Structure 1
Amino acid sequence: MTNISFQIVTLRLLCMGHTAELMGAEESLKVATLEKSLKEKEAVIIDVTAKMKSGESEIANLQDQIRSLQGQIKEHDNEKGRMTSQIHELENDVLEMFATGFDRAVSQVVAFAPEFDVGKLDVTKIVVNRELVEDEADELEDENAAPVDKEA
């Protein structure tokens, strides 16, 4: 019986060894799967990190462009302010020149026709149907203005 017991013990040891090998193989397979998964995740992390750094660089470039454009906007706003001021000055100059021209024309009428009553003349009126009328502020052009009749 000893021989059979010895054989049983040997078989059990072989079975245990084989079971241990299978468990070790199973564990090795699990470890290999986990290592593969880890490597894939590390590759994804490296890829995402590279994309993030690229994105950060692009963001920095865009922020520089934004600052540059904001500076240009400020310069253009300043230039617009200067030009608007200059337009107002020129408008005032034109109005002053218009009033001066009107006054000169009235003084020429006085010189050539002293009997004419220049008191009726008004820089703000226009001639419509041979009469002086108020100039409408909403008219784009003096379409109703009649040509000056030199014979009158």
Structure 2
Amino acid sequence: MQVVGTRLLCMGRTTELLGAEEKGEAERILKLEKSLKERDDVIIDVTIKMKSKEEEVGKLQVQICLLQSQMKESDNDKGRMTSRIHELENEVLEMFSAGFDQAVSQVVTFAPEFYVGNLDVTKIVVNGKLVDDEIGEAEDENMATGEKDN
């Protein structure tokens, strides 16, 4: 009987040790499951944020395309306006030249003895002399600033 009692005691101790191991394993399993759940939650959260960012990127790409098309349109408008400015400048120059020619014709008509060969649309009168427009502008600037030519 002693043998049976010892065996029972050994079996009880073995069962106790197995139960302790199972309990430890169960705790580790619970920790691992908790860790996996936390990791899954993080993955779900990151996935949701990523989808949100992808939508934002898509919206920004649409805005970029819209802005690029607006820039192209603005560049085209700028080119058209620049061309129109040059056209208008040429028209003004032609009108100015035609007006000058008309004025010279009137001088010839009213003062036929006056020699109009020295008249030039690009010249101006400074101090009673006919000079190039650029020289006249420089002299006007010098007089405005108080400088005098020696």
Q: Smaller-chain TM-score range?
A: 0.7 to 0.9
Of 89, 99, 103, the match for 2:101: 103
Is 1:75–2:76 an aligned residue pair?
no
Larger proportion of helix: 2
Deviation at 1:143, TM superposition (A): 5.1
Deviation at 1:89, TM superposition (A): 0.9
1:38-117 equivalences in 2 (<5 Å): 38-117=36-115
Aligned pair count?
141
Q: Distance in 2 between matches of 1:16 and 1:25?
A: 14
Is the contact made by 1:110 and 1:116 (CA closer than 8 Å) also made in structure 2? yes
In structure 2, the partner of 1:127 is 125
Q: Deviations over 1:12-47 (max 9, x none)?
A: 111111110110011001100000000000000000
Q: Percent of pairs identical after alignment?
A: 58
Q: Deviations over 1:84-140 (max 9, x none)?
A: 111111111000001001111111111222222111111111111111111218x59
Q: Distance in 2 between matches of 1:96 and 1:19?
A: 113
Cα RMSD (Å): 2.0
Gaps of 5+ in 2: 144-150
Q: Distance in 1 between matches of 2:4 and 2:134?
A: 128
In structure 2, the partner of 1:150 is none
Of 17, 20, 31, the match for 2:18: 20
Q: Distance in 2 between matches of 1:30 and 1:75?
A: 66
Deviation at 1:7, TM superposition (A): 2.5
Q: Secondary structure at the match of 1:120?
A: coil
- The TM-score with structure 1 as length reference comes to 0.85
Q: Secondary structure at the match of 1:126?
A: strand
Deviation at 1:8, TM superposition (A): 2.2
Q: Distance in 2 between matches of 1:101 and 1:143?
A: 27
Q: Distance in 2 between matches of 1:35 and 1:130?
A: 105
Q: Secondary structure at the match of 2:124?
A: strand
Q: Distance in 1 between matches of 2:16 and 2:90?
A: 108
Gaps of 5+ in 1: 146-152
Q: Distance in 2 between matches of 1:104 and 1:64?
A: 59
Bigger relative contact order (CA 8 A; separation at least 6): 1
Deviation at 1:144, TM superposition (A): 7.1
In structure 2, the partner of 1:11 is 9
Q: Secondary structure at the match of 1:116?
A: coil
